[in-house]
Structure 1
Amino acid sequence: MTLSTVLAIALLGTQATALPGRDESAIVRRACPEYTSYASTPHAPYSGGPLNLPFQRPAEVCRTFSSPAVEKVIEDITSRLVDKDLAQLFRNAFPNTLDTTIRWHQNASTSAGAKGKRDGPQWSGVQTFIVTGDINAEWLRDSTNQLVNYQSLAAKDKSLYSLILGAISTQSEFVIQSPYCNAFQPPSASGVKPENSTQKDTVHPAYNPSFVFECKYELDSLAHFLQLGTEFYEKTGSTEFLTERWYKALQTVLKTIDAQSKPTFNDKNQFVTNQYTFQRQTNIGTETLSLSGVGNPLNGDTGLIRSAFRPSDDATILGFFIPPNAQMSVQLRKTAKVIKAAGGPADLAADLQERGTKLAKAIHEHAIVQHPKYGDVYAFEVDGYGSRILMDDANIPSLLSLPYLGFVDKSDPVYQNTRKMVTDKASNPYYLEGPQFHGIGGPHIGLEHAWPMSLLVQAMTSDDDDEILGNLNLVRNSSLLGLVHESINVTNIKDYTRPWFAWANSVFAETVLKVAAERPHLIFGEGAEPYIIS
């Protein structure tokens, strides 16, 4: 064992035994502390700001992926930030996905991988498995959003390019095998131990628990799969991800949304069981679907697509859940552009464009409803019978995030009415306020916890300097461990859920980068030049 290895292990405060022929870096990695525990305790060096926020990045030898381009952005931003605590939070949050969640990356140039069975997943070529944080499983939605900040750097950093390309390949395999599922186990070729699940679910179509961690059908998961590819194209100009397997995954997405666009009763008014059903043994109402796993009835040919669950993993009440429909309409049209740019099948591109356009029209026809105080607003959920749910949830996609998703301009009058509605305690039951924190929450955590993510989305969809900076500062003030949490108790910011939640940290970093590019005076000082990743 070399001196550097001994010192690294000593620094980590853990013991490891060197064995003849054993790779020393692997020994050191095994000596690394478990990050959920590590993130729960503050570490030096501290920020030196009023909050004196800790430095929460793991030791370099313990980081799961590294990128010089990412390190340069950290230096560029933190050296210019006036607020030392905000700088420390960005320093921890921006690389959090790379530092802690890349459980497996296989570079095609160095490994041919492992091929699956003829009809099973194919793990050859470049692959990447990304966990959400404290659960050793990959959510399609979370992993897409965790990579958002690195897409702009992928064109000039080959390692990030390969990482994201691998993530698209891995998501493709997940979608092909189990399109109704939201969270997945480590690929068999990775050698990473699967995550145990104690849930007792009855799901149709059935799934393989060694491949799937959880099988809640969430329309946004499929939209996020498309988004991972369209963002890659937009930032790098590359269509390399348009492989035979990706096209197969796309066809699987289209078949799934077609099946989920059908009503509960056929044209003879006879009940037809939905292709997807889900029942869980639970005493929590949001964790299962009513009516033997089918969910509440949906009416007629609305053109909308049902979603059994929300991005919070909570069950929908009325299955035509509008935010992921909006996201899917955008991503279908963006995917059409990518295929067209690559010289792909013209008929497929035209079909995707038409689908996206029709879906947007359906949203405007069925989801814009009258609110007694705010006038025309977007409903959160509808059923095609005239019933609607007026609220919002913190998770993306949400009504608040409609401009962020690219569905509407933030100046759109109906969106502005909706925005006022969902940030009004009297109109949105899940807008939570307390003496120490406020924001949109949701039933997933309860009636006392708002989510920092909602404040960050609010900042990214605002033109008001005071609102933007106020929300950033509120998130900073509630992140006393130097990381952004899932949710915060509005009466006591020291009561939070999840010390380590990579998605929330990614959204925080994304917000800072957006402000740096568009309103640099708010964080760099008056007269500051914009900082734009290019």
Structure 2
Amino acid sequence: MQEPLGADIDPNKYKAACPDYKHYAMSPHPPYSEGPLELPSQRPKKYCRTFESPLVEKVVKDMNERIVDQDLARLFENAFPNTLDTTVRWHVDGTEKPRLFKKKWSSDAWKGPQSFIVTGDINAEWLRDSTNQLQQYQRLAKKDKAIHNLILGAINTQAEYVIGSPYCNAFQPPAPSGLDPTYQGDGDVVHPLYEPSFVFECKYELDSLAHFLSLANQFYNHTGSTAFLTPRWIQALETVLDVLSAQSKPTFNPETGSYERNEYSFQRRTDTGTETLNLNGIGNPLNGGTGLVRSAFRPSDDATILGYLIPSNAMMSVELQRTATMLHQAGKKKLAAKVREWGTTIEKGVWEHGVVDHKRYGKVFAFEVDGFGSHILMDDANLPSLLALPLLGFTSTDNEIYKNTRKMILEKTGNPYFLSGGEFRGIGGPHIGLQHAWPMAVLVQAMTSDDEDEIKTCLGLVKNASRNGLIHESVNVNYVTDYTRPWFAWANSVFAQTVLDIAQRKPSVLFGEGKEAYALG
């Protein structure tokens, strides 16, 4: 346990001397775990942490006392609080006097609690990352007012981002925070135009908007609170529906056959094909009448090849229907019906156009389709993925099409991005290359398995690839010491979620035979 600072020491001065966590995470720190790997501690000193919760500390303590494998226990101790420890760059509870700033906003903008959650080593907030980073704390929000307010603030902040630039995926610190933005300088040519001081990157990814809905749906599910259901959030929801309408249109007019330019385009000067869209920033043609919605980029931030990305459409269909249920219960029945219709339309489109016949595996989910009959068979490590469809709530693990798909994407003969080497194996993707698999995908494999041996194998692979005490973005399948991103909060959160899932479903894997399950909330 860390000793408190002396009463004569100013915490603010101590905080000013805190090391940059990006560099801190690259080196091991004592105390080391008592397991064979002797994994280091990677939690910042108390006054260097960006947010604290006594309930989170209790969970860490509880799990430390229960997990038999001391290396896994250390990874959980580092990973579970990592988002709170390191990524909450700005949080206000809504009672503070607003700062003065130059940009003119709606009089209702930036009201109430606000939270800016960075992805880790990049000083920007991804809608997808921040939703996943906060996911393991959602079950604590009803009991912990601080967590409740932090997540409510994140919902409010994301709503402002969606209203301001709904086609963008990553955002700068909010103007009221007074924090300086960070510019990429890639010279992107994007339509619609965006404000660089507001947006960090503007890759249109359907799952980003689905994650915006998911953050609020999780909060409502665990707390029953509709405090986020403000005019601004409703405006953001309407903005999402506008995007769905625009991005479900075909490339060619179905009546005249004439080309109709998409509302969104993206071009980047680069020698990496996945970093830009072809055909002058539009991407490959898509057919209409599918019920599916275009996504220009994948959750990996790589460009799609065929724009109807099935995992993202599946996630959007689920979150729309969950949102509709919440709105109906809140008395907003007309809007709920509109949202539900979108959800069921997209869901139908996934089942009708996203399921294809494979000569070896039978009926499987395709990764991307174009509505003309072309499809791509693969899976990518990032969430949402085909592997994660049950976690998204789209289908169950015992669905035959999902089982066929799971078998396909976890074999090299079925998935070109299933990578295997001497020290690691799992799903990777084009984002990093052909030798690096992602621990995140191996963790999803564990959460979608009912086989204890498979779960143990997955945990062992990730543990062995996390020698620095944190979960990395990707690792070389032959040399796990060759990794990308020492500080990637999303991956740490997925590890924590996996351990908590196993602690509830398969407690003997973590705690030993005959031990009781452990559940949050």
Which residue of the partner structure matches residue 483 of structure 1? 470
Q: 3-state SS of the aligned residue for 2:390?
A: helix
For 1:361, the equivalent position in structure 2 comes to 348
How far apart are residue 203 of structure 1 and its match? 0.2
Tell me whether 1:324 sits opposite 2:336 in the alignment. Answer: no
Q: Which residue of 2 aligns with 1:123?
A: 110
For residue 280 of structure 1, what is the amino acid of its counterpart?
Answer: R
Q: Determine the C-alpha separation between the residues in 2 that align with 1:114 and 1:256.
A: 32
Render the CA deviation track for 1:57-110: whole Å, top value 9, x for unaligned: 000000000000100000111110000000000000000000000000011134
Please report how far the alpha carbon of residue 323 of structure 1 lies from its aligned counterpart in structure 2 after TM superposition. Answer: 0.3
Q: Report how far residue 144 of structure 1 moved.
A: 0.1
Query: What residue number does 1:13 align with?
Result: none
TM-score by length of structure 1 reads 0.95
Counterpart CA distance in 2 for 1:323 and 1:281 is: 28
* Contact 2:92 2:113 survives alignment (8 Å): yes
Q: Which residue of 1 aligns with 2:281?
A: 293
> Which one-letter code corresponds to 2:282 in the other structure?
V
Pairing 1:144-155 to 2, within 5 Å after superposition: 144-155=131-142
Q: Is the 8 A contact 1:515 1:522 kept in 2?
A: yes
- State which of 2, 25, 42 in structure 2 corresponds to 1:56: 42
Report Cα offsets for 1:301-357 as digits up to 9, x if no partner: 11100000000000000000000100000000000111111122x111111112111
Distance 1:5 1:146 in 2: 32
Number of residue pairs the alignment of both structures matches: 516
Which amino acid in structure 2 is aligned with residue 33 of structure 1?
A: P
2:331 aligned residue (328, 343, 364) = 343
Matched with 2:230 is 243
Is 1:206 the counterpart of 2:193? The answer is yes
Give the partner amino acid of 1:153: L
User: 82, 87, 90: which is aligned to 1:104?
Assistant: 90
* Residues 84-93 or 117-126, more deviating: 117-126
| Cα contact 1:53–1:482 (8 A) shared by 2 | yes
Q: Partner of 1:454 in structure 2? A: 441
- Check conservation: 1:432, 1:490, Cα contact below 8 A: yes
Which whole-Å CA distance do the structure 2 matches of 1:7 and 1:256 have between them? 55
Matched, 1:276 2:243: no
Inter-partner Cα distance in structure 1 for 2:327 and 2:354: 30
1:25 Cα shift?
Answer: 2.9
2:391 corresponds to:
404
Deviating 4+ runs (over 3 angstroms): 3-8, 109-116, 118-121
Q: Match for 2:67 among 81, 84, 93?
A: 81
Specify the alignment match of 1:38 in structure 2. Answer: 24
Could you give the per-residue CA deviations for residues 179-209 of structure 1, whole angstroms, max 9, x where no partner exists? 0000000001111111121211000000000
Which consecutive unaligned segments of at least 5 residues does structure 1 have? 9-23
2:165 and 2:236 map into 1 onto residues whose CA distance is 10
Are 1:113 and 1:124, in contact at CA under 8 Å, matched by a contact in 2? no
Quote how far apart the aligned CAs of 1:426 are: 1.0
Assess if the C-alpha contact under 8 Å between 1:278 and 1:288 holds in 2.
yes
Q: Structure 1 CA distance, aligned partners of 2:372 and 2:362?
A: 20
Percentage of matched positions with identical amino acids? 61
Instruction: Answer yes or no: is 1:437 the counterpart of 2:424.
Output: yes
Structure 1 match to 2:171? 184
Alignment partners' CA distance in 2, 1:121 and 1:396: 33
Opposite residue 202 of structure 2, the aligned amino acid is: C
Give the aligned residue type for 1:518. R
Contact 1:120 1:177 in 2 (8 A): no
Q: Which residue number corresponds to residue 531 of structure 1?
A: 518
Alpha-carbon deviations, 1:209-233, whole Å to 9, x = none?
Answer: 0000000000000000000000000
Residue 26 of structure 1 and its aligned partner are, at CA, apart by 2.8
Shift in alpha-carbon separation, 1:297–1:528, aligned structure 2, 3 A = same
Equivalent residue number for residue 302 of structure 2: 314
Maintained 8 Å contact 1:452/1:504: yes
> What's the counterpart of residue 142 of structure 1?
129
Structure 1 pair 406/509, CA: closer, same or farther in 2 (3 Å)? same
Secondary structure in 1 matching 2:183: coil
Q: Which amino acid is 1:445 matched to?
A: I
Per-residue Cα deviation, 1:386-423 (whole angstroms, up to 9, x for no partner): 10000000000000000000000110000000000100
1:262 matched to 2:221? The reply is: no
> How many angstroms apart in 1 are the aligned matches of 2:279 and 2:388?
31
Q: 1:305 aligns with which of 289, 293, 299?
A: 293
Tell whether 2:468 aligns with 1:473.
Answer: no
Q: Is the contact made by 2:203 and 2:296 (CA closer than 8 Å) also made in structure 1? A: yes
Q: Contact 1:138 / 1:185 at 8 angstroms: preserved in 2?
A: yes
Match of residue 21 from structure 1 = none
Shift of 1:5: 7.1
Residues 6 and 494 of structure 1: CA distance in aligned 2, closer, same or farther (over 3 Å): farther
The residue number in structure 2 matching 1:14 is none
Tell me the distance in 2 between the aligned counterparts of 1:64 and 1:45. Answer: 21
Q: Structure 1 200/6 Cα, relative in aligned 2: closer, same or farther at 3 Å?
A: farther
